[in-house]
Amino acid sequence: MHIGYNFIILCFLFLLVACNKDDDAITQPINPSINNDEAKHCSNAQRYDEVLKKCVNICTENEFFDITTEDCRKTMPNPIEEKICQGDLALDKVTSKCACFGRSKEDPINKNCVCEAGAHYSKIDADCVCYNQDKFYNPLYSRCTLFCKEGEELFMLSNGEFQLCVPKCKSGYFYDLSESMCIQKCEGNSYRNRGDAQCTKGKMLSINPEYRIWSILPLLTVDRNPGIYLNIDPRNQPTEEDINKRIKMIKSAINAWLEPLRSSGLGGERFVRDIEVSTDRVIYNSNNVIATVDLLPTKRAYAINSLSRIAVSLSSELGTYIHEFGHLLGFEDLYDQDPHSRLRRLCLTGYDETTTIMCFSSDPFLRSADIEGIQNLYCRFFQNEDPEACAVLQQRLSLAAISSLM
């Protein structure tokens, strides 16, 4: 009985000691390495990180703490939750913005994707699609164009209304719709007869043997102090503005013929740049007036060769002045019909309206044959004063020896 009582007492003491040890374990700190004093020094926007052993920023709801950068970073959006876009707009996953795709442009009012004429936007294709199945959206022209076969190319008017697949022309040629063929691009003093694919070499301007005696070119030098007399028919009754306009045309026509000499180095500063034109003949003496321009009430324009005169009308344009002054320089008409005929005037063989204004074209500028012609004429008069430049011209134009007219 005494032994049993002592055993019970020993068990009770053992249990009491064990319970005291457990209580000691419970009261021990979870991480004895944490310095409570350091944690107390973190600001309200910070927390103490047990791994880094220092205060770090507290991240917001949409952020997470990146231990490698020791800072907060935004959380990646859930790829399943995509933004809902209006109209034709679709979500661009790179920028996370609603936008149009392909070659379309966004209409900000109704959020639709707009394409060029003849095409509509397809959300399935995410691009512009043509209404006409025979066409495709051509990025080169930003519109729907025809599919052309191999060896063909697209012929299209600038407004895109007319399209046609035509044969692809070789280098130096282009397709002429009116003749339905590839034709050569004529350069220099060359032209093309209708129906011919290739260009024909043009002739140089023809010089009238009678004109060369009184050509005004030698008289246009600065030392001659040349002048032009504008003779106004009293029946015209032009305004001062009309007269000034004619004077300006006379000067422009003369400079049009002299410019090819200046630009090619022929003549240098030999010729006048601003010839004097007056309606008062008294201010000139017989040596100064090199030509007379009659301003007539009619619509006719012509040259009176033997008197160094030309006649124009109030309705004559600059192209007419240049043509008529070409006669005063010594060049012949190069059309084969009466210039006043109602029929279409044709150029003589070897000439074309694209190569010379002496075939009576109304466009106010010289052509290739005119330029070659005035340069050749210059050397006929001034080759002794300018032998080197004339020798180069002779070689370039493949001319025979130039005989002086002076």
Q: Where in the chain is the domain with CATH 3.40.390?
A: 211-396
The DSSP 8-state label assigned to residue 95 in this structure reads: T
Query: pLDDT digits over 11-24, tens only?
Result: 444 444 444 444 44
Q: Residue 367 and residue 358: Cα distance in Å, rounded?
A: 9
Instruction: Provide the pLDDT for residue 31.
Output: 44
Start-to-end Cα distance in the chain: 169
Q: With both helix axes pointing from N to C terminus, report the angle between 318-329 and 368-382 in degrees, rounded to the nearest 10.
A: 30
CA angle, 95 then 100 then 102, to 5°: 105
Closest by Cα among 294, 303, 292, 291 to 339: 303
Instruction: Provide the pLDDT for residue 355.
Output: 94
- Per cent of the chain over pLDDT 70 is 80
Residue indicated by tokens 């050569």: 184
Mean pLDDT of the chain: 80
- Lowest average pLDDT, out of 26-30, 76-80, 155-159, 322-326, goes to 26-30
What is the pLDDT averaged over residues 163-167?
89
DSSP letters for 246-265: HHHHHHHHHHHHHHHHHHTT
What is the pLDDT averaged over residues 155-181?
86
Helix (H) or strand (E) holding 244: helix 240-263
pLDDT of 299 strictly over 80: no
Domain boundaries 211-396, corresponding CATH code: 3.40.390
Instruction: Provide the pLDDT for residue 39.
Output: 59
Alpha helix ranges (H) inside 268-367:
318-329
Helix (H) or strand (E) holding 24: helix 2-26
Handedness of CA 272, 216, 372, 345 (dihedral sign): positive
Is 345 in contact with 339 (CB distance < 8 Å)?
Answer: yes
Phi, psi of 313 (to 5 degrees): -120, 170
Instruction: Provide the pLDDT for residue 406.
Output: 36
pLDDT of 329 strictly over 90: yes
CB atoms within 10 A of CB 119: 23
The alpha-carbon radius of gyration of the chain (Å, integer) is: 48
Structure pTM? 0.63
Closest by Cα among 83, 90, 144 to 122: 90
Cα 260 to the center of its chain, rounded Å = 27
What is the pLDDT averaged over residues 147-173?
86
Structure tokens at 298: 């009619």
DSSP letters for 61-82: TTEEEETTTTEEEEPPP-TTSP
Helix (H) or strand (E) holding 200: strand 200-201
- Per cent of the chain over pLDDT 90 is 28
